[in-house]
Amino acid sequence: MTKTLVIAEKPSVAQDIVRALTPVAGKFDKHEDYFENDRYVVTSAVGHLVEIQAPEQFDVKRGKWSFAHLPVIPPYFDLKPVDKTKTRLNAVVKQAKRKDVTALINACDAGREGELIFRLIEQYAGGAKPDGKGFGKPVKRLWLQSMTPQAIRDGFDALRSEQQMAGLASAARSRSEADWLVGINGTRAMTAFNSRDGGFFLTTVGRVQTPTLSLVVEREEKIRKFVSRDYWEIHATFGAQAGEYPAKWFDPKWKKGEDAEAKADRVWSAAEAQAIANAVRGKQATVTEESKPTTQASPLLFDLTSLQREANGKFGFSAKTTLALAQSLYERHKALTYPRTDSRALPEDYLPVAKQTFEMLADSGMRHLAPHALTALNNNYIRPSKRIFDNSKVSDHFAIIPTTQAPSGLSEAEQKLYDLVVRRFMAVFFPSAEYTVTTRISTVAPHNFKTEGKVLVKPGWLAIYGKEAADEVEGGKDGDKGQNLVPVKPGEMVNTLAVDPKGLKTKPPARYSEATLLGAMESAGKQIDDEELRSAMQEKGLGTPATRAAIIEGLLTEKYMLREGREIIPTAKAFQLMTLLRGLEVEELCRAELTGEWEYKLSQMEKGQLSREAFMQEIAAMTERMVKKAKEYDRDTIPGDYATLASPCPNCGGVVKENYRRYACVGKPGNAGEGGCGFSFGKSPAGRTFETAEAEQLLRDRKIGPLEGFRSKAGWPFTSEIVIKYDDEAHNYKLEFDFGDDKKGEESGEIVEFEDASLGACPICGSEVHEHGSNYVCSKAVPTAAQPTPSCTFKSGKIILQQPVEREQMTKLLETGKTDLLDKFVSMRTRRNFKAHLAWDKDAGKVNFEFAPSKFPPRKPAAAGAAAKTVAAKASKTSAAAKKAPAKKAAAKSTAAKAPRKAAAGKAPSAALAAVIGSEPVARPEAVKKMWEYIKAHNLQDPKDKRTIVADDKLRAVFGKDSAGMFELAGILGNHLG
């Protein structure tokens, strides 16, 4: 019998499809990587299993950071499996190539990325060439926007053809390849340009990351150039028969003009403000008043970006943290729907599911949420609404809402995020909040004072958030808004009791927080003037909800931005990149218009109105132009807004000014610009760009550091002090790295005088430990006046693998034997972050790493009774199946089912494996168990991904590589047994 293979994007979707098909297609049997019945085989990817790369003959690896081999524009792209999911890829391809599978259904997510995931798997199966025939079997497309069982079954009844999906497939490939061309060529070209003077200065650019960085840099430029202005507001208090009320002067004739800081309630001189106050003080005022009812609907359901913004504003969670928590609530706890969505609506057939969710919440025992869910059910709030249920506003996925499963065992952070989603979900079904808004004008001719009152009449959805939130929404922060106003009788004259001119200053625009930056990325298209481009980007912005957190984290990792509290601040490296792109006249890389233009053309391609070839030719031409601009730029510096340092040149006392590449002496004060003495130092030694304040400190103190973030020519990170020293040969000062090799003092006999307080007792000899250079050292480990000849060896770095070790931590190590758990170590081999304690290793006589115990203890073996039940159940199934077969075969199968399974015979391990588990013959399950005991004992699980084993020397001989996934172990060990 022939079967159809269904390939979903994620395992959870595959399970939903199986549940939906079971009533109409029969029961499925579950296997390790797939489900199967008489008609279908259902399997899934886990996101992207394959990524594009240039064929080796077109992408030179050696010397790739020079202009020699740029631009790289291959005629086609090869594919390579994503390392972490290669096993899954092989499993999917294996099912597709089965002889009994004669047709396929692409059930990946309904959108461009889902289409790309399937197409790349198909191309990989056909030999990875663009003309590869893929699976060589007919393919249909399942297009789902709702995951209810009926919607899935309807989707199977209306499968789309290959021809219908051709435009989307072309757009998906084109977007992926265009991103590669711009990112790879742009990064290599800018890195080559910045590394021209020697060293290695990695300068990454990308279609999304660089415009995002540009938003932050432009905001910072406005802040730096901002000049504060004085202004005045005139605040008054009026007395009516019923009591007092506040008011603020305003000009009713004011109209918005070019001055962005001008407002109706501001005056720009103290004299004018005082004159207004003097004119009305002690006088009576007439009152006019207008009251009207108004309503406020709840905010829409969350998509990922709005959830990240809300969680950042309320709890300070980073976008990355929010995504991780939402993913855990989706995958592990099954408490939220799929989080990586850009939709804020639900499918139109989802009303019954919404009601079931309210029923779960009402019966969940969550006291802070259940009463509101019960209110909604009792009052029939869960009704059809285009604001909530709208297929036209559902893209690949619908809005983030709670599932019908009540969660348990949530962490504090998970609970906060879950509550945030649940409250928003309930709020959209509740009635609008109702207010009475009163605007009162008190006039002492010719001056007018305004008072606004906003009184909550019916809380509606605000009841879910409590009084504090209601007050926040209701009143705002101004003193003349939100209060209950004392009544004024018709025709009543009120007295001006007090008038106070308040002097204030205009403020620069606020720096971006992660919440506001996510909002700016989401709405980047609104800053574009061209109507067609703005329309194309209306739902896209910069990046997608799933990638925006990673874009921000990438910019932070590359030191283009820093987090200070909740503010995001661009670094000198970011300003340098923007100066470079502007100077090279490749500013399209900085602008959201590039994304808008691409989105517009890709949407044309999806509709069949633009060919893939024409689009890719345009991208290639743009890439060539970008590289050419960088390669052919021949001026000494790049125009920009550069700083002048306050500290003088150490060589001649002249003025030191910044240019694109260096800080250089330009001559004596008064004669600056006539030529300096030749003193200069690079702005970005070893790929790390000095902040202006750091350059100032270096010039003033002749040293700075130790500083992190330097990279060797091979790309390895390192930490060092920087010093400015006199060079006898050059007869000038120059910059040098100082790695704090304290043996220099020992060899020269230079006496060390400690100026800091002791941190504690040396663990070797008991003497005092102090700071010295870039290390913490025993006072007897360096020459001192008390002991010119060192007698101790204790020394530990102040920065270890990029982790700063503060004085308090070293004090703790000396007192207790180890530091707190530190989380900023970076492996020199894998370049990944890891956590560890620093601890005194008495046997080794030095400070070593101590890793925290694993949170994932080994599984307990199943109880004998449970194992017996399992065997019995399997025997029963086998016996039942045998009855359907001819008598002889049934008898044979029944006998086989009853017969006890033979224990697996032991096999001799290879020499490499024997070095790990011993040389005794062993069955593969026992070998795997022993291997895990070794891995646990030596802390070889990757701290960031416990499913990955990082090989030491012994395991490297077994694995044949530096790391392996936990699911690979059995296969690897099989090759080493027998």
**Residue appearing with tokens 């559902």:** 394
Kindly write down the DSSP assignment for every residue of 546-557, as one continuous string. Answer: HHHHHHHHHHHH
- Secondary structure class of 495 (helix, strand, coil): strand
162-194 and 112-125 are packed helices; what angle lies between their axes, rounded to 10 degrees?
90
- Can you give the length of the chain in residues? 978
Beta-carbon contacts of residue 263 (< 8 Å; ≥ 6 apart) = 254
> Rounded CA gap, 852 and 688, in Å?
32
| Positive/negative CA dihedral, 643, 645, 646, 651 | negative
Q: Is 124 annotated in the active site?
A: no
Q: Regarding beta strands 78-81 and 494-505, do their DSSP bridges make them parallel or antiparallel, or are they unpaired?
A: unpaired
Strand, helix or coil at 653?
coil
**Could you give the CA distance from residue 312 to residue 918 in angstroms, rounded to a whole number?**
52
What does the angle CA 19 – CA 23 – CA 25 come to, to the nearest 5 degrees? 95
CB distance 280 to 523 below 8 Å: no
d(CA 777, CA 844): 17
Quick one: DSSP state of residue 54? -
CA 788 – CA 747 distance, rounded (Å): 11
* C-alpha angle 414-415-421 in degrees, rounded to nearest 5: 90
What are the structure tokens assigned to 900, written together?
Answer: 């006890």
- Whether the bond between 706 and the residue before it is cis, its omega within 30 degrees of 0, is yes
588 C-beta neighbours (distance < 10 Å), count:
17
Q: Which two tokens stand for residue 521?
A: 């990325």
**How many angstroms separate the CA atoms of 948 and 478, rounded?**
55
- What is the residue-wise DSSP string for 934-953? HHHHTT-B-SS-TTEEEP-H
**Apex 597 CA angle, 596 and 598, nearest 5:** 90
| Of residues 321, 328, 329, the one with CA closest to residue 403 | 329
Cα 119 to Cα 122, 132, 133, 160, 697: the distances in Å are 5, 11, 11, 15, 55
Kindly list the distances between the CA atom of residue 905 and the CA atoms of 899, 924, 926, in Å, as whole numbers in the listed order: 17, 9, 11
Rg (CA), the chain: 35
Neighbours of 294 (CB within 10 A): 12
Calpha distance 613→466 (Å, rounded): 57
Q: Per the residue annotation, which of 40, 245, 338, 600 is the catalytic one?
A: 338
State the residue for tokens 């705002």. 476
Q: Are 764 and 753 in contact (CB under 8 A)?
A: no
In 3D space, the residue among 105, 122, 121, 119 whose CA is nearest the CA of residue 160 turns out to be 105
Structure tokens, 803: 């982790």
Active site residues: 338
